Structure 1
């Protein structure tokens, strides 16, 4: 199998290119996503290869971007639309939540909305207001939407291809901190990964640590930090990859083995994915727990300006501290 070494941004570009070659119904667009290739260059080179009819710029109107994605999807296309930053998406929710997410149900299955809404999320890059939000839990509350948030190039490409092929709307969240942070060898051609399937990144026996997105890499760094301190904890690390549907089975099976649970998320605590995971574990594996589940989130405040971002965010040091508190 031919492979290519790519970072997350390259995996996105590669996935789009592979799919646009296979399926002429796929269109790609967003603010500056055409000629410039997007502010992060995720679509760079695609307009030159596939033409302005399939890769083009959108007006600065999130409502128009999402609404046109829905309309074109209902008309037989497979749009992949980009919201420049997730903090800008609020103006498009009036099209996404009551219309795109409900289309299959509203039409009693006669119409569907095979669209992908890509957007950069998360902090850690000391950006300005509306550029650092972690809003993933907001989307998971809406029936009819699928929500994906991969952390690695391999997962990013495979899940984006699956999202494009899905016949229902998929919100595809990309952590901007990890766009160019690392590379890995991935298949150069077509492959898919199942939406709704978590991945056990590290096996362990003492603690189940569930996370997703950039927090996977902060978790990896935290475990390295603990090893350097001489703490040889056996921690099972689960990357959710998909936030809706959630792979409850993989998490519960792990907790039944370890008896302990820590859920880590970059988002603010109230209404977070962490609460949903803990609730499901309590419902399905309560008798297997030897300690109360723990969650680690950012505090319930607006994302601060850059000077305070380190104090606000979840990072390797905070994760390491909580692991030590749990395991002693």
Structure 2
């Protein structure tokens, strides 16, 4: 099977949906001829034209409001926000309008929109362009949260997000854009709310998201050399969350580490940890649940400090060793 990048997989999924459904269109800053901040929409304006690949003013508040209105009147907009950090400018439209309209109208109104959010650190973009704010958004009822870690997942999850009748926030880690793996050319859909076991193991479960999935797999390979068998679970979607897959894994291994890039305090890993602690699986644990997240500081510009601010492979290895010694 061919290999394509994470970036190409998202573009391909959006293009396939736009070819099959005229209600789907893209809007955002510099997404036309320029191809977006990361080049993800390169070539799309040539195929679909400026009516369906719409350049917008530099106003996240304005373009998010347009997306909500378009979605409520039957369209399926895909809104690109150049950096996920800028979602804070669009909070009223997303949190108080998009997330609540279907409920407030008793299901008679739908808001089928996708908000694409390049997120995460590692590219040297500093404090205002490198955050991981997904836990903040996951707190809001009415929003679905997607966080793919591979090109294969990104393509299938994007299709599901576009076809969902609810607002979906689609977090794309910037450092994954150029990673490659096997992706079918044909269309396929990965249901929202279905986790994936990226690696099977028997001693420790690592539940990790986005960039932390590949780091967890790298750590697992090193730990295998020490005789520690690690199972890596990728939730793929935070809302809805596949609790069954996570709990079954923890029941098998009896030890769990939740690893995520966002600041540890208040991060989504706390939700996963509390879900496990409140479940019937708690009695199967042989050690306390451990969380590994970022330090409580804005992301530094300096590359060495930037790396120190978020978990790296060695940090995961050390946490797993600690778990095995409990």
TM-score by length of 1: 0.96
Q: How does 1:265-284 map to 2 (within 5 A)?
A: 265-284=260-279
Report the equivalent of 1:187: 184
Contact kept? 1:26, 1:77, Cα under 8 Å? yes
Note if 1:163 corresponds to 2:161.
yes
| CA distance in 2: counterparts of 1:303 and 1:183, whole angstroms | 26
Report the equivalent of 2:34: 36
Measured after TM superposition, the shift of residue 306 of structure 1 is 2.3
Structure 2 gap segments, 5+ residues each: none
Report the equivalent of 1:324: 321
Measured after TM superposition, the shift of residue 128 of structure 1 is 2.7
Report the equivalent of 1:234: 229
- Residue in structure 2 matching 1:311, options 274, 298, 308: 308
Measured after TM superposition, the shift of residue 232 of structure 1 is 2.4
Contact kept? 1:127, 1:306, Cα under 8 Å? no
Number of residue-to-residue matches in the alignment: 323
Report the equivalent of 1:88: 86
Measured after TM superposition, the shift of residue 271 of structure 1 is 1.4
Measured after TM superposition, the shift of residue 195 of structure 1 is 0.3
Report the equivalent of 1:243: 238
- Root mean square deviation of aligned Cα: 1.1
Contact kept? 1:18, 1:189, Cα under 8 Å? no
Measured after TM superposition, the shift of residue 278 of structure 1 is 0.8
| CA distance in 2: counterparts of 1:254 and 1:79, whole angstroms | 37
| CA distance in 2: counterparts of 1:261 and 1:235, whole angstroms | 10
Report the equivalent of 1:110: 108
Q: What secondary structure sits across from 1:72 in the alignment?
A: helix
Note if 1:289 corresponds to 2:285.
yes
Q: What secondary structure sits across from 2:265 in the alignment?
A: coil
Note if 1:223 corresponds to 2:220.
yes
Decide whether aligned partners of structure 1 residues 242 and 273 sit closer, same or farther in structure 2, where only a CA change above 3 A counts. Answer: same
How far does the alpha carbon of each residue in 1:76-130 deviate from its partner, in whole angstroms, 9 at most, with x for none? 1100010000111111011000000001011111111000000100001221331
Q: What secondary structure sits across from 2:18 in the alignment?
A: helix
| CA distance in 2: counterparts of 1:327 and 1:241, whole angstroms | 26
Decide whether aligned partners of structure 1 residues 14 and 4 sit closer, same or farther in structure 2, where only a CA change above 3 A counts. Answer: farther
- Residue in structure 2 matching 1:178, options 164, 168, 176: 176
Note if 1:208 corresponds to 2:205.
yes
Report the equivalent of 1:77: 75
Report the equivalent of 2:64: 66
Contact kept? 1:268, 1:300, Cα under 8 Å? yes
TM-score by length of 2: 0.97
Deviating more after overlay: 182-191 vs 107-116: 182-191
| CA distance in 1: counterparts of 2:18 and 2:306, whole angstroms | 38
Contact kept? 2:206, 2:231, Cα under 8 Å? yes
Note if 1:301 corresponds to 2:297.
yes
| CA distance in 2: counterparts of 1:202 and 1:221, whole angstroms | 11
Measured after TM superposition, the shift of residue 56 of structure 1 is 1.6
Q: What secondary structure sits across from 1:187 in the alignment?
A: coil
- Residue in structure 1 matching 2:43, options 31, 45, 66: 45
Note if 1:137 corresponds to 2:132.
no
Measured after TM superposition, the shift of residue 295 of structure 1 is 0.6
| CA distance in 2: counterparts of 1:148 and 1:118, whole angstroms | 10
| CA distance in 2: counterparts of 1:246 and 1:123, whole angstroms | 24
| CA distance in 1: counterparts of 2:239 and 2:191, whole angstroms | 12
Measured after TM superposition, the shift of residue 226 of structure 1 is 3.2
Contact kept? 1:208, 1:238, Cα under 8 Å? yes
